[in-house]
Amino acid sequence: MTNSLLFDFTVDKAAKTVFITREFDADLSLVWDAFTKAELLDQWLAPKPMTSKTKYQDFKVGGKRFYAMVSPEGQERWAIQEYTSITPKTNFKMYNAFADKDENPELPGSEWDHTFSEQNGTTKVSITIYNESLERLERILDGFTQGMKMSLSNLENLLATLSSKERS
């Protein structure tokens, strides 16, 4: 795989906005599908060892995707994405908010804007994320790192048990 694919990540703290640009070695329609179809999103959105599952998705303006990030221990962190604007294979916008398992959103959420363009078989995706509060960013991280932390503490317990057995 070529490593010359662009990755740019900047944060404007004052504007509460994160800017991300990334190139992918695939044509636009495939990358568009990977960002907009639940069955593909579930394959890459959750950083391993976490997994992602979508309960339902209705990809149209006003439609939603209701999904969860699942930790290796089975703990679920639900979120709702509501699509606010869609220009096929060019741009889509959504409002993302954490939720409980009964789909009650926890506001405020964040506004996501995705723009797609293709040049010579490489597709560029530009994402801006507007967060109303930094606390939310902290919570996004908590959700992601929870799974990892639990795995690590399990490992620690296992190691402690093993080493105490060795001693006795």
Name which of residues 14 to 33 contact another protein (CB under 8 A).
14-16, 18, 20, 22, 24-26, 30-31
Q: How far is the CB of 33 from another protein (least distance, A)?
A: 9
The candidate with the shortest Cα–Cα distance to 80, out of 91, 68, 70, 92, is 68
The candidate with the shortest Cα–Cα distance to 78, out of 102, 58, 49, is 102
Residue closer to another protein (CB basis): 33 or 55: 33
Q: Binding string to another protein for residues 113 to 132, with x set by CB under 8 A, is what?
A: ------------------xx
**86-97 as b/e: b if 16+ CB within 10 A:** beebeebbbbbb
Residue closer to another protein (CB basis): 48 or 165: 48
Q: Are 50 and 74 in contact (CB under 8 A)?
A: no
Give residue 155's Cα distance to chain centre: 26
The residues that touch another protein, with contacts defined as CB under 8 A, are 1, 5, 7, 9, 11, 13-16, 18, 20, 22, 24-26, 30-31, 34, 40, 43-45, 47-48, 131-135, 137-138, 140-141, 144-145
